[in-house]
Every structure is written in structure tokens, then in C-alpha cells.
Amino acid sequence: MSLSYYKQTVIRVQTDDFNLAAEYKKLRDNNPKDGAIVTFVGLVRDFNQSGEVSGLFLEHYPAMTEKSLAEIVDQARSRWSIGRVTVIHRVGQLNVSEQIVFVGVSSQHRQEAFHANEFIMDFLKTQAPFWKKENSKKGDTWVQAKVTDQYKAKNW
């Protein structure tokens, strides 16, 4: 097993759904050095800034998106000793309870995988070029960025 495989980063931006089990398998298979795998999945909630939400549309800046996510993962790798990292973000139209984002991190010991995963999400939330428009009875409304997300990213 080569070092590059061990330290593999996978970034995907797609309209299709993803499968947690398949992503977990890629983080785990042939990886006997890592004792910890942390996964995060973000889902479309039925209630948000515009009240009751029936779905949302995710716009992004295609030329920049993957580059931005790869840089965030590199920043995480410079802070923690982690193994494999996968980041998948969906774009386009999504319904309530659908999966939006997946972050998976493996590491030898648990703390690194926990912290790197949360760090990647906090930076994704404030730096990666995605914008959500919520669908509700009132019509479509752009989601406004939360100041608390800025604080979370700054606290690392």
C-alpha cells in the first residue's frame, strides 16, 4: 500500500445522491493502520430560515468548488495526522431529508478524525462557494449566512 493511497483525498461535487456505506467502505478497506473513522452527513431539514421548508436548490461556482474543498482538506491535513479524507457535496434541487454533504475522515487515533472532520465542515460552511435557496409556501428565498458559522471557523 503506497503512502499516497493511505493519505488519499477524494473530492466530489455532484447532483446524484451518495451512499454512506460505499463511502465508508472506501475509507476502511485495506487500511489497517487507522483505528478511527468519523463520518458527517448533512441533510435537508424541514424547518429553517423561511419556516417550513419543502426543499432547496443548491447553486455553486463550478470552476472554484472542488479547488476550494481540496484546499480545506489540505489545511486539515496540515493540522492533524489523518489518513483518508472524502468530501462529497451535492448541487441542484434537493427535497426534505435528502443528503446534502458527506465528510469522512480516517485516522490512527480518534481525536484527529473527529477534529479534522468538524474543521472541514466549519470551513466548508464559510469558504466553499455554495449557495442555498429554500423552497417554501412563501416562495423561494436565498438562505442568509449565519454569523455563528463565521465564529466557528475563526475559533480553530
* Interface positions with a second copy (CB under 8 A): 19-21, 24, 28, 31-47, 96-97, 108, 110-111, 113-114, 117-118, 121, 152
Nearer to another protein, 7 or 14 (CB): 14
Residue 63 Cβ, how far from a second copy at the closest point, in Å? 27
156 contacts another protein (rule: CB under 8 A)? no
Distance between CA atoms of residues 131 and 4, nearest Å:
33
Using left for φ > 0, alpha for ψ between -120 and 50, and beta otherwise, residue 30 falls in: left
Report the residue from 100, 105, 113, 116 that binds another protein according to the rule CB under 8 A: 100
Sign of CA dihedral 108, 111, 112, 117: positive
Report the residue from 64, 108, 138, 151 that binds another protein according to the rule CB under 8 A: 64
Contact 33, 40 (CB under 8 A): no
Report the residue from 50, 85, 88, 89 that binds another protein according to the rule CB under 8 A: 89
Nearer to another protein, 84 or 89 (CB): 89
- Provide the 10 A C-beta neighbour count for residue 108: 13
Nearer to a second copy, 67 or 79 (CB): 79
CA distances from 25 to 80, 86, 147, 148, 152 (A): 22, 11, 36, 33, 30
Give me Rg for the CA atoms of the chain: 16
* Residues that bind another protein in the complex, under the rule CB under 8 A: 42, 58-61, 63-64, 67-68, 89, 100-101, 110, 121, 124-132, 142-145, 150
